[in-house]
Amino acid sequence: MDSTDIMDDKDSGPEVQINIPSSVMSRIEELMGGTEQFDNEESLSGVESAAARCDFRLQGVEQDIQRLVRAQAAQRDAGQRALLKAQSCIAELALQITCEIKQLDCAKSNLTAAITALNHLHMLTGGVEQLHSMTRDRQYKEIALPMQAIMEVRGVDQLHSMTRNRQYKEIALPMQAIMELAEACGVVDILDSTVKDELLKWFIDMQLQECAWLSHVERRYAWLKRHLLTFEQSVANIFPPQWGLSQLIATAFCEMTRAQLSALMSSRRAELDVKLLLFAIQKTYNFELLLHKSEPALYPPGSPWAGLVGACFEPHLSLYIHSLDSNLRQLLDTFIQDAKNPAPPAPAAQVGEGAVISSCADLFLLYKKCLVQCSRLTRGEPMLELAGVFQKYLREYASAVLQAALPRAAPSGGLSLSGLGGGNMPSLVSNLQTLLNEGAHPADCSVITTAEYCLETAAHLQLKLREKVLPELAHRVDLSAEQDLFHALIADCIQLLVRDLELGCAPALAAMARVAWLALTAVGDQSPYVTQIALHLRSAIPPLRDSLASSRKYFTQVCIRFASSFIPKFIQNVYKCKPVSTAGAEQLLLDAHMLKTALLELPSLGSAVRRPAPPTYTKVVVRLMTRAEMILKLVMAPLDEGFAAQFARLLPDATLAELHRVLDMKGAKLSKAQLAALDASFKDNTKHAN
């Protein structure tokens, strides 16, 4: 049977149903299973053993029931004890909270009373101040109200008692101190002299402490003057003259003063300022000079007094260096602002083109003043700090003033005219004319002359700094980086000038390549493009030379760089003139000769005094233009078996590509075999020539 079966009891009637739980039914089935073991008479012999087992199991069940009942009772007792403990804790917590609330209430009332008293005291002090103000202004009508409030406070016993006590102590304490001090001095006078000396030292230090600071340093020196004068008049004749007691006293005074001033400045560094420091240094310098002049014959090689006191100021001279830094910063900011907003250019009659920018002289004049002042104070580490300040503002002047004075940024590399297309050539020429009209050359030349001045003055400044510092520190003064910066600035300006000259020649070179050289049948005068180049150089070089009159070597560099850049571009345009007839090649050769003549005269174009060109420049022009002439001679040479040898002889450093470009100019129609044979012959001749 399972728990879902329904058993019908016939005696109870068919409508009575008993529902037995499944757990009970499983237990009944387990017990009923034991009856199956006694299904016959023979099996009844094991009934007693089965009954014994049942009794044993029944006893075990009863023991389990008893144990569970006892455990339940023990748990009930523990729960009761825990409940009682929790109730006790809650009662204690409630009592503690109540006590703290009472304390907070008491503190609140005390704080309220204290705030009220403080407010009343504040009102009292305010009323007293108001009373003083009204009394001073004779506002008698308005005095009544604050006076009444003050009179009411007088009735407070505590305030009245405190006032009386203060007044009594103000009178009694000074009298008591004076009486006791006088009596103590009487005792000290009898005691050992060391006690008296200590007392006097304390009293004298107290009297002189107001003279100890830098603002009163002059009083120290005045005291020594008076003391030495009194000493010489009254006591000096007692001691032998060779002892030099006056000098010993002065030396001891200087050493003590140096130690005291050093300690004072270290402890009160926050109170130091530049004016006070310079005041003390100047007074000290004058005092040391006075000591030296008093006995100059005793110290022929130099003054032993120099720096005897003033050495204490050296660790604090960084304040002075910072002050100089600030002054230079203000001056340079003015220069930078002027560079950003330049004044209208002065007439050429008043200011020469390419003159040194005036701010440069102002900067170095201030440098000179700073160097002279600082060298009088020290020769040590502060001089190196000053050199660092000079270096910083030299770099900033070069970048923020001179670089800003240029009409446009310096080029990052050489300008390639071969890359200029015909479409943008008019705009480039227009821009060039605009730059020239706005005075681009004078601005570049002014930067060159100013940078040259800075370069030379920086070298002189480095020498002076090394002279002024201690010999062991001289190697740490190095302005070579700043000199390199000015060298680079000059190189950039020269490159700008060369670029402008090349841009002026670009239209003529472009026109040269557009000429139909193959159709030319006769040689005439020089071509128009040569005339155009010569006219451009004749108009551009004289003002450039005049602007760089004070920097002749840099004008020579401009000419050399222009020739080194322009002539290779001319040769590239010669290669573009293809094909070319014999007459055309002769015309190009004539043009090259005329251009060579114009370039050789370039440094003295438009000059009243005809000077020979510098040998370095002449060498560059002759070498490069000779190459152009050799190329044109090869174009005119017959294309026979000896052409390759002639090519290698006239242009020993030429390449195979240049040979092909010359052949293109000649308009030679060679087969592949002929071209290969010519190339092989050229290589052989080049190898033998080398």
Q: Return the closest-CA partner of residue 530 out of 456, 617, 598, 629.
A: 598
Residue 30's pLDDT band (cuts 50, 70, 90): low
The token pair at 417 is: 């005219």
* Residue 565: predicted pLDDT: 94
Query: Which pLDDT belongs to residue 616?
Result: 93
* β-strands 17-18, 7-8 pairing: antiparallel
According to DSSP, the residues that pair with 670 across neighbouring strands are none
First to last CA, the chain: 126
Residues 6+ apart with CB under 8 A from 14: 8
- Reply yes or no: is the peptide bond before residue 579 cis, omega within 30 of 0: yes
Following DSSP, what letter does each residue of 433-444 receive, concatenated?
A: HHHHHTTHHHHH
Q: For the chain, give the longest Cα–Cα distance.
A: 165
Chain CA centroid to CA 72, Å: 84
Distance, CA of 92 to CA of 382 (rounded, Å): 76
Q: Poorest-confidence range of 245-259, 346-360, 554-568?
A: 346-360
pLDDT of residue 255: 80
Burial class (CB in 10 A: 0-12, 13-18, 19+), 471: exposed
DSSP assignment string, 523-543: --S--HHHHHHHHHHHHHHHH
Whole-angstrom distance, CA of residue 285 vs CA of residue 215: 15
Confidence class of residue 250 from pLDDT cuts 50, 70 and 90? confident
Measured between alpha carbons, how far is 476 from 459 in angstroms, rounded to an integer? 15
Please say whether the beta carbons of 237 and 289 come within 8 A: no
pLDDT at 14 over 70: no
Q: Look up residue 518 and give its DSSP letter.
A: G
Determine which helix (DSSP H) or strand (DSSP E) holds 404, and give its type and residue range. helix 403-405
CATH 3.30.70 fits 317-342+354-409+430-491, yes or no: no
pLDDT of the residue at 259: 81
Measured distance CA(561)–CA(625) in Å, rounded: 14
Q: Which residues of 220-255 are buried (b: 16+ CB within 10 A; e: fewer)?
A: bbeebeeebeeeeeeeeeeeeeeeebbbeebeebbe
Three-state SS letters, 155-170 = CCHHHHHHHHHHHHHH
- Please report which confidence band the pLDDT of residue 308 belongs to, taking 50, 70 and 90 as the band edges: confident
**Helices and strands counted in the chain (H then E):** 22, 2
- Residue 508 has a pLDDT of 93
On whether the CB atoms of residues 546 and 353 are closer than 8 A, the answer is yes
Q: What pLDDT score was predicted for residue 364?
A: 93
Write the single-letter amino acid at 13: G
The span from the CA of 203 to the CA of 191, in Å, is 18
pLDDT at position 112 is: 87
| 178 pLDDT tier (thresholds 50, 70, 90) | low
Q: Is the pLDDT of residue 70 over 90?
A: no
Gap between the Cα atoms of 259 and 456, Å rounded: 43
Residue 393 makes CB contacts below 8 A (sequence gap 6+) with 328, 329, 332, 363
pLDDT of res. 345: 52
Cα dihedral 190, 193, 199, 203, rounded to 10, equals: 110
Please state the rounded mean pLDDT for residues 571-599.
92
DSSP state of 150: H
Written as six digits, the tokens of 651 are 């242009």
- Model confidence pLDDT, tens digit, residues 421-453: 333 434 444 444 444 444 457 788 889 999 999
Higher pLDDT pick, 48 / 239: 48
Q: Output Rg (C-alpha) for the chain, integer angstroms.
A: 57
Residue 177 pLDDT class (50, 70, 90 cuts): low
Q: Which of 463, 543, 473 is nearest to 504 (CA)?
A: 543
Give the pLDDT confidence score for residue 350 in this predicted structure: 41
Tell me the pLDDT tens digit for each residue of 400-412.
Answer: 999 888 765 444 3
More confident position, 380 or 600: 600
The label of the residue with tokens 């006769």 reads: 522
Strand partners, 8: 17
The whole-number pLDDT of residue 202 equals: 64
- Angle CA(68)–CA(73)–CA(78) in degrees, nearest 5? 120
Greater confidence, 677 or 292? 677
- Candidate from 79-93, 308-322, 339-353, 625-639 with smallest mean pLDDT: 339-353
Structure confidence at residue 330 (pLDDT): 92
Mean pLDDT computed over every residue of the chain: 78
- Phi, psi (5° rounding) for residue 18? -115, 120
Compute the CA torsion angle 373, 378, 380, 383 (nearest 10 deg).
Answer: -10
Q: What is the tens place of the pLDDT at every residue in 81-106?
A: 888 888 889 988 888 899 989 988 89
What are 670's two structure tokens?
């060679």
d(CA 2, CA 6): 9
* Of the ranges 147-161, 433-447, 524-538, the best mean pLDDT one: 524-538
CATH class of 494-689: mainly alpha
Give the residue-averaged pLDDT of 304-322. Answer: 79
Residue 174 tokens read as 């000074």
Instruction: Answer whether 283's CB lies under 8 Å from 218's CB.
Output: yes
Point out the least confidently predicted range of 74-83, 290-299, 457-466, 537-546.
Answer: 290-299
